[in-house]
Structure 1
Amino acid sequence: MVSSTSVADGTLRVAERIHATLPSMPAAMAKIAELLLDDPTAPLELSITELAERAGTSPATVTRFCRQIGFPGYVQFRVGVATDAALGSADDDSWRTDIHRTLEPDDTPEDVLRTLLDAHIRSLRATASVLDLTQCARVAERIAAAPHVDIYGIGGSAAMASEMQTRLYRIGVNAHAWPEVHAGLASASIQDERTTAIGISHSGRTKETVEVLARAKDSGAHTVAITSRSTSPLAQLADSCLLAPVPEQYLHPADLSAKHSQLFVLDVLYLLVAQHDYSATVARIAASAEAVAGHRRAD
């Protein structure tokens, strides 16, 4: 569900909230989402019953949809749509130029910079709006107490796993990153109920990551998925799922906005772990900084 903070401060428009929560919506709600993305002002003309009929669902599902994206009910949702419509009439050109565009061959460097900045900001906002902080805190508690933490990531997600492993290890967590399936399976097979295993995959469909996390779960580990879709195989397998969605399709195949969303979730998780024994965390960071100080040139 979209957080109350994002709703209160107005950082996300209705369409952005829909994009952010769409990956975790059940099929009936997804029908409503798709209808509204195609026709954003439909609620201004339709009653809740009429909207439900057009989407092929029920008024109760429309109400649940409104709550899912951060509105108490249909009335408040219509007010949000009306507000966005008013804003859109004033700055529709800039909105479409800055937000709803992809990279083109003749884009200027300024166009590229603006497009990428908008895409990455939207990804971070979307992730912050759906991140379950209660679940995040529970996962951090398990990581802090675990005698062993495995982190699995294949391909592009391997860098995310390695970064998280380095940060956790530096504050005293016995963490290990496994970017290769054979080594990952070997480590996963010796986990137990005291350990935590984290699988990172944007799609949630990377076969190797799903396989390794499944082996860790079979061994008794508490399993965590960091992915963009709650309906993905990785998310469905895991005991805990932390969503890192990207609001829209990639601007291009190598778009890093998905990685920024993953890093954002991992950073929140890391800081919550660091808080568990703050004095020990500070001491370990200071000790590791002092150890490498001789390898830095003086200013």
Structure 2
Amino acid sequence: MTNSVKESFASRGGHAPSPVPAPAPPVRTAGPPGPAALAAKVRTMAPSMTRSMQRVAETVAHDPAGCARLTVTGLAERTGTSEATVVRTSRLLGYPGYRDLRLALAGLAAQQESGAAPSVTADIAVDDPIGEVISKLAQDEQQTLADTAAGLDTAQVEAAVGALAAARRVDVYGAAASALVGQDLAQKLLRIGLVAHAHADPHLAVTNAVQLRAGDVALAITHSGRTVDVIEPLRVAFDHGATTIAITGRPDGEVAQYADHVLTTSTARESELRPAAMSSRTSQLLVVDCLFIGVAQRTYESAAPALSASYEALAHRHSPRVR
């Protein structure tokens, strides 16, 4: 959100609108997703679509070659939907119209024929031998990382890096598995000399968010985009003028209402033996590492000595003490 939006919130008593469902924010990409990002976009956004739109999205993802040859009327007939639904699905996936989606489908089909596009792996069964479990998990992790990398908006990442590098203080909010990712980011930033704190306790998160001001950064991690314990401190930080960042698998979720910069993650398919928390953590860690490296690059003159000092301190701690 822009500074003018923040100012309008402040003029109404310093509070953002009550947390009610809001229209999906605009797609935060410089242009339509390329072929590599299309499948990732479908996997990420399908769960939040209407059932008819899901049918369109899943059909184009599973048979890009066949769908690329269909007109908008043909795809509507194949999926049992309407032409309007096909067009709305195209736009939700980031394309101005169905023609642009068809071009991406043709590109995705070409990638699959050449073997460049990864295939969707099968679910893990309760009786799978451990060797097969390892193989399936490795493939799913690779798919998740590739999808996240393809779907990340580099302009948003660069803006987030710039805010973190210049921050007086960084607060990170997360719950459950996302809290572990938040702790990872905070300790990385601490090691290069930034003031960073991870908050898993929602009460402490809010009381700390109240202290944030312009020049500070608040970063929320929530795969669902609707975790109240994460959204509330981000809202408070937003109200107080801090730059806000969200790492989420649902860019149309409520958390985006209070985020200046949204970094979208992907996730492998959830199954009985592999809950969403496992696959979402993989993509979140990739984004965290991208942010950390970006900040370290921008602050290299101070980051390198700080990192060296932390290594030296840890090495000294683990060395035998001389009596």
TM-score by length of 1: 0.81
> Aligned ranges for residues 52-131 of structure 1 at < 5 Å?
52=76, 55-58=81-84, 64=91, 68=95, 73=100, 76-80=103-107, 82-83=109-110, 99-131=120-152
Q: Give the aligned length.
A: 285
Tell me the distance in 2 between the aligned counterparts of 1:179 and 1:13. 32
> Aligned ranges for residues 264-279 of structure 1 at < 5 Å?
264-279=286-301
Tell me the distance in 2 between the aligned counterparts of 1:31 and 1:237. 31
Tell me the distance in 2 between the aligned counterparts of 1:183 and 1:256. 26
- Deviation per CA, 1:69-105, whole angstroms, max 9, x where unpaired? 9x983553453365467579xxxxx95xxx3411112
Choose which of 201, 206, 210 in structure 2 pairs with 1:180. Answer: 201
Matched with 1:148 is 169
Alpha-carbon offset, residue 49 of structure 1: 3.9
Change (3 A) 1:197 1:122: same
- Alignment check: 8 A CA contact 2:45 2:250 kept: no
Sequence identity percentage = 31
Tell me the distance in 1 between the aligned counterparts of 2:225 and 2:262. 11
Matched with 2:241 is 220
The 3-state SS of whatever aligns with 1:197 is: strand
Alpha-carbon offset, residue 158 of structure 1: 1.1
Matched with 2:67 is 43
Matched with 1:91 is none
Tell me the distance in 2 between the aligned counterparts of 1:233 and 1:63. 22
Unmatched segments (≥5 aa) in structure 2: 1-27
Tell me the distance in 2 between the aligned counterparts of 1:72 and 1:296. 61
Alpha-carbon offset, residue 32 of structure 1: 3.1
Matched with 1:33 is 57
- Deviation per CA, 1:126-177, whole angstroms, max 9, x where unpaired? 1001111111111111111111111011111111111111110111111111
1:196 and 2:217 aligned: yes
The 3-state SS of whatever aligns with 1:73 is: helix
Higher helix share: 1
RMSD: 3.5
Choose which of 17, 34, 43 in structure 2 pairs with 1:19. Answer: 43
Tell me the distance in 1 between the aligned counterparts of 2:169 and 2:92. 39
The 3-state SS of whatever aligns with 2:275 is: coil
The 3-state SS of whatever aligns with 2:188 is: helix
